[in-house]
Structure 1
Amino acid sequence: MSWKVKRFDELTTRELYSILQERTQVFVVEQECPYLEVDGKDLNSYHLYKEENGEVAAYARLLPRGVSYKEASIGRVFVKKENRGRGLAGELMTRSLNFIHGELGESEVKIQAQEYLRKFYGSYGFRVVTETYLDDGIPHIDMMLRK
């Protein structure tokens, strides 16, 4: 199936439901981390995802500058458990950065990453800009990419 990128208002109710269902499965259930997953930022973001067999296989929320940080950002990044190990995470990040740089014309991207993903994001040029800190009990770091 194909990759899609849509503004919030372009998502069908079924697409939105599938995205929120999978995000909750990964970030709340899998990670055993109760938090407000629907945080109001979706309304002003782009939603990049790959559908396979009618389900969201991989997803990232692309936030224009000013939504989370003064820089553009990428968040809520996941590959559905059953689809991990197939290279989708790399394809997702490449497409996310291409969209932010190409379509949004942004040269700086700031992310909040789980600490264990430091090397993964580092392979795309992100550099750590904070010490490790706990967010909802999970070790995180902030990272920046300057093109």
Structure 2
Amino acid sequence: MDLHIHWCNFEQLDNLRLQSIWALRQQVFIIEQQSIYADIDGVDQRAWHLLLEQNNQLVGYARLLDDSIHDCYRFQRIVLSEQARGQGLGRILMEQLIEKARGAGQYKSLRLSAQVHLQNFYRQWKFVPQGAEYDDGGIMHIDMQRLQNQELGQ
């Protein structure tokens, strides 16, 4: 597997990579899942971007946002292209996100908004549901959280 992992802030993204990010998010979230929402939301400029590239193509992506108001890091827009699924790349995305947040400084928790059917996937990393399920762009979601002191294997 010819996999390359890149972390970039917004200023480090060239036009081609930025277009690839938006195209992947659009293909999966808007077209494939038929979720109509404003993907270009003004948050990309403040986030760290995790890119997984295989054979010079973007196949996985996530963004990491420092939410100092809530003393947490938020994992957002976690996505794999259709051809990249089933290869364990989702695990790589999650491990990279957790390590980046851990290295970025102290936080109270890690948070994400999970599609309801993916809760068990996120539970592997000690994320637990918070609150009730809700509709986000026509897809049921639930907020999930992992506290700082919850390490894998504990």
Q: TM-score range by the shorter chain?
A: over 0.9
Q: For 2:64, which of 57, 62, 65 is the aligned residue?
A: 62
* Higher share in strand: 2
Shift of 1:22: 0.5
Cα pair 1:3 1:48 within 8 Å, conserved: yes
- The reply to whether residue 14 of structure 1 matches residue 24 of structure 2 is no
Overall identity of the aligned pairs, in %: 32
Specify every segment of 5 or more residues in structure 2 that has no aligned partner in the other structure, as ranges: 149-154
Shift of 1:113: 0.7
Shift of 1:105: 3.6
Cα pair 1:64 1:104 within 8 Å, conserved: no
Q: Deviations over 1:2-51 (max 9, x none)?
A: 10000001111111111111011011000011211111100000000111
CA distance in 2, matches of 1:107, 1:66: 10
C-alpha change, 1:104 and 1:20, in structure 2 (3 Å) is farther
Cα pair 2:59 2:80 within 8 Å, conserved: yes
Q: How does 1:1-147 map to 2 (within 5 A)?
A: 1-66=3-68, 70-147=71-148
Q: Deviations over 1:93-134 (max 9, x none)?
A: 001110011134434111111000111111100011111111
What TM-score, normalized by structure 1, do the two folds share? Answer: 0.94
- Match for 2:6: what amino acid? K
Cα pair 1:101 1:107 within 8 Å, conserved: no
Aligned position for 2:151: none
CA distance in 1, matches of 2:99, 2:29: 25
Runs (4+) of structure 1 exceeding 3 A deviation are: none
CA distance in 2, matches of 1:130, 1:138: 16
Specify every segment of 5 or more residues in structure 1 that has no aligned partner in the other structure, as ranges: none
Aligned position for 2:152: none
Cα pair 2:71 2:107 within 8 Å, conserved: no
